[in-house]
Chain A
Amino acid sequence: MSKIAIVYSFHTQNTKKAAEMVVKKMGKNHVEKLNVEDTSAEEFMQFDTYILGSATWFEGELPNHWDEFLPSIEERDFSGKNVALFGLADQVNYPDFFGDAIGRLAEFFQVRGAKIIGHYPNKDYSFTESFALRGDKFVGVILDYENQADMAEKRIEEWVKILDKEL
């Protein structure tokens, strides 16, 4: 039975909102919530499946809380583990870096052996460039609370269905 953790910063607003909705939509699946700001590497490594949530800050950057966490696991092996990603981004103000943060997270974990699950189609978005795009799919679902807040719930629902199939 896959041990699933959803990891994000508890001090965020939209990311936290999205995370709670993901957990709700996942229903009976037991998902452990981890705060990336104070999770230790040991705690993190206990899981087989990760659902990681991150906004993109400034021009394609990871928020501090992810930046400060990653070195603690950079030497770990993630072979056999699954990583699913949900991102928060603003396609109107930052169209050139849309959802880049989850692209960076995907790269980080893939290089360390993880399998990225939950690729999400590039549908109904309008942006110029994204580091999270792989062909015609994003590495995970991207939610735009600034411009498409009303689509968030539906997108999360769809995405959780994709995850369920792949898990």
Chain B
Amino acid sequence: MIKTEVKYGIKTTDKATLEKWYRLMTLGRALDDRAPNYLKQAIGWSYHAPYAGHDGIQLAIGQAFDKNTDHLFPYYRDMLTAISAGLTAEEIILNGISKATDLASAGRHMSNHFAKPEWNIHNVSSATGNHTLHAVGVGRAMSRYNHKGVAISSQGESSVSEGYVYEAINGASREKLPVIFVFQDNGYGISVPKSDQTANAKVADNFRGFKNLEFIYCNGKDVFDSMNAMETAKKYVIENQIPVIVHANCIRIHSHSNSDRHELYRDDYELNYVKEYDPLGKFRRMLLRYERFTEAELLAIEQEIKAVVKDAHKKALAAPDPDPKSIFDFVIPEAIKVEKYPDGIHQLTGEKKKLIEGLNETLKAEFRHNPDTYIWGQDMANKDKGGIFNVSKGMQQEFGVERVFNAPIAEDFILGTANGMSRFNDKIRIVVEGAEFADYFWPAMEQYIDSSHDYWRSNGAFTPNVTIRLASGGYIGGGLYHSQNIEGSLASIPGVRIVYPSFADDAAGLLRSAMRSKGMTLFLEPKALYNDPIAATPIPDDFMVPFGKARVRRTGKDLTIVTYGNTTHMSLEVAEKMQKELGISVEVIDIRSLVPLDEESILKSVKKTGKVLVVHEDKVFGGFGGEIASIITEKAFEFLDAPVKRVGSTYTPVGFNRILEKAILPNADKIFDVAVKLYQY
């Protein structure tokens, strides 16, 4: 535990500083008190979480934050934090009433989530506390780039219950990162008393066993204690380069938010004494008692603030509303333009490289090309082993542990810190092995969702630039947890490109495109093909494949098979057999890219053949093939001579015994049977 250095006090702090604080607190409170009126008048601000009672610590966080060096992650109750950090009254109201000129998100994100991207005051989600991971990611970048600054993450004490907070703090402590985690403890998570969250009264105590981590406890209702605490914390973090938790005791004078009625669970006695503890009231009394200000001076300030608020209100009301036509802006950043290989096809012949070599060599080439690339994941780098399948073999040796490193078994942390690190500067490109196997990716889903819409939610201000690589699919006798295909579930989430190459050249080309593009790409690797010669191809050194470009791997005129991943090879095998044995000419389209989807190529082929079979390894029911089939039926109905058929796995998990796996997963025989019947329709 660190002893707070006493720098500020009622008698010692200069009048100008006291006045600055009083102005900020008065302005904050005026807006906090006024916010519910906007809802009552149906103007907006349908979500407001009043901060009254947290005044001391919120003032202090904002004052400690330096926009030239630091990053700030406020939570949904941090109105005064945002104001203290520099947001104007007008900017607060614009956010509250969701105007197009709201800095945080132009009305796209819920109100009361304040941000100013230009100052690195970040737009955080409503998944309470998950920005702890982002703060750690930024902290990692600060450490890598020897940047003198801090990442400040702020949250309520109850949200510390979330597992990702433990992952974040573990990470910051293990990596020794310059992060300040502030816990604003007001005793409640909505209506739930904090004793229902955890056994320790002060949740910061839960982390006392972590190494490289310090603690400061302060009275968040007291301006001076809070200011001293935050200054001490920041100084300590910068000097020692380890994280600090600041636990600030506050009170929540009002309900959790406008949709909560705290009279239902707090009695009059509690509500009364909580009002007595109003930090603003206390500060005002002390300014007068110690004759730092006269009553007249304070009243004059209060009058001025009233005028500021009135003026801000007028300006905000007059601001433009978001345009409904703008909904498609910033869903996903523009990908890099692929000039040399506009269709993602090359003419190179000669030595074939396996899928795994394609990936390994492309990773290395990209790391040489861009010094701001990073890769991490589980089991990434231990001497001669590079990744569970050795895809990253040799990388740590060449690029060093600063750029190629292991992450703990914490998938949400792996992805969340990638999102965070991206915020430091937009030259950074990150590749994560999201999990050892796609099957283990699910704990990262909350970060996947958050990251998928960061660009949209921030109205284009921020995009995480991350490629998520996952070893996918079965055919290795891996059972339920080493065989999953997850693209069917994830394709319905806008904001992430999804690619699933079948051949080594496409893998290399798509990986290069992903790593050079802004935004997120989910890069699914058919692990059964890593070393399979069937997937090996020549690969030009500079090969790139544009997103949303399918590849016709075999031309034909009688039937179209639309496929990707492992089943591409089976489909090619089937096409060859159908030609040889039955004289049927089958066109095989390897879509390569699911999101964005090359509808044009698919529909062009359908119009030519009139019969389509969609094949993928994933389950038929709920699989991505359903989307492809629907698009075809909707847009090429007149050209169809038969129903669109699908082949994929059974609607069951994948069994471990190879007998079960064979019955469950598609194979060339199953595809052949359906294809022949379809041809005969």
List A residues at the B interface (Cβ < 8 Å).
Answer: 57-59, 61, 64, 67-68, 71-72, 74, 94, 96-97
Contact = CB atoms under 8 A, between A and B. Distances in A.
Contacts of B427: none
A67 B222 contact: yes
Contacts of B277: 57, 64
B20 interface: no
A61 B249 contact: yes
Given A59-B249, A68-B289, A96-B201, 11 more contacts: A58-B249, A64-B282, A67-B222, A68-B285, A71-B11, A71-B286, A72-B290, A74-B9, A74-B11, A94-B201, A97-B201
20 contacts: A58-B249, A58-B251, A59-B201, A59-B202, A59-B249, A61-B249, A64-B276, A64-B277, A64-B282, A67-B222, A67-B282, A68-B282, A68-B285, A71-B9, A71-B10, A71-B286, A71-B290, A72-B289, A74-B9, A74-B11
A25 B9 CA distance: 38
A72 B249 CA distance: 24
A37 B249 CA distance: 23
A133 B276 CA distance: 28
Nearest to A68: B286
Nearest to B278: A64
Contacts of A58: 249, 251
Contacts of B11: 71, 74
A65 B9 CA distance: 16
A61 B219 contact: yes
A71 B286 CA distance: 10
A58 B249 CA distance: 8
A123 B251 CA distance: 33
A72 B285 CA distance: 13
A96 B205 CA distance: 12
A82 to B, nearest CB: 26
A114 B286 CA distance: 25
Dominant SS among interface residues on chain B: loop
A82 B61 CA distance: 40
Contacts of A67: 222, 282
A159 B222 CA distance: 33
A57 B11 CA distance: 24
B78 to A, nearest CB: 21
A64 B282 CA distance: 7
A97 B201 CA distance: 10
A48 to B, nearest CB: 25
A58 B10 CA distance: 23
Contacts of B285: 68
A61 B185 CA distance: 14
Nearest to B219: A61
Contacts of B249: 58-59, 61
A85 B233 CA distance: 33
Interface string B394-409: 0000000000000000
Contacts of B251: 58
Contacts of A94: 201
A73 B253 CA distance: 30
Interface in B207-253: 219, 222, 249, 251
Interface string B646-670: 0000000000000000000000000
Nearest to A67: B222
Nearest to B285: A68
Nearest to A38: B289
Nearest to B9: A71
Interface in B139-175: none
A94 B251 CA distance: 16
B157 to A, nearest CB: 11
A58 B251 CA distance: 9
Nearest to A62: B219
Residue among A58, A74, A94, A96 with most chain B CB within 10 A = A58
B183 to A, nearest CB: 13
Nearest to B11: A71
A94 B201 CA distance: 9
Contacts of B219: 61
Interface string B285-319: 11001100000000000000000000000000000
B200 to A, nearest CB: 8
Interface string B373-403: 0000000000000000000000000000000
A85 B202 CA distance: 26
A97 B200 CA distance: 12
A64 B277 CA distance: 7
Nearest to A129: B201
A67 B202 CA distance: 21
A135 to B, nearest CB: 22
B508 to A, nearest CB: 58
A61 B221 CA distance: 11
Contacts of A59: 201-202, 249
A2 B584 CA distance: 115
Nearest to B10: A71
Nearest to A72: B290
Contacts of A97: 201
A96 B249 CA distance: 15
B222 to A, nearest CB: 7
A24 to B, nearest CB: 27
A72 B282 CA distance: 15
A36 to B, nearest CB: 12
Nearest to A57: B277
B396 to A, nearest CB: 46
A44 to B, nearest CB: 13
Nearest to A71: B10
A53 B201 CA distance: 25
A68 B282 CA distance: 8
A74 B251 CA distance: 27
B206 to A, nearest CB: 14
A71 B291 CA distance: 12
Contacts of B290: 71-72
Contacts of B282: 64, 67-68
A64 B290 CA distance: 15
A74 B6 CA distance: 13
Nearest to B185: A59
A59 B248 CA distance: 11
Closest 4 CB pairs of A and B: A71-B10, A96-B201, A64-B282, A68-B286
Interface string B248-286: 010100000000000000000000000011000010011
Contacts of A68: 282, 285-286, 289
B88 to A, nearest CB: 31
Interface string B4-15: 000001110000
A93 to B, nearest CB: 9
A72 B276 CA distance: 21
Contacts of B202: 59
Nearest to B282: A64
Contacts of A61: 219, 249
A61 B273 CA distance: 14
Contacts of B276: 64
A61 B217 CA distance: 11
Contacts of B286: 68, 71
Nearest to A11: B276
A132 to B, nearest CB: 17
Contacts of A71: 9-11, 286, 290
Nearest to A64: B282
A27 to B, nearest CB: 34
Nearest to B286: A68
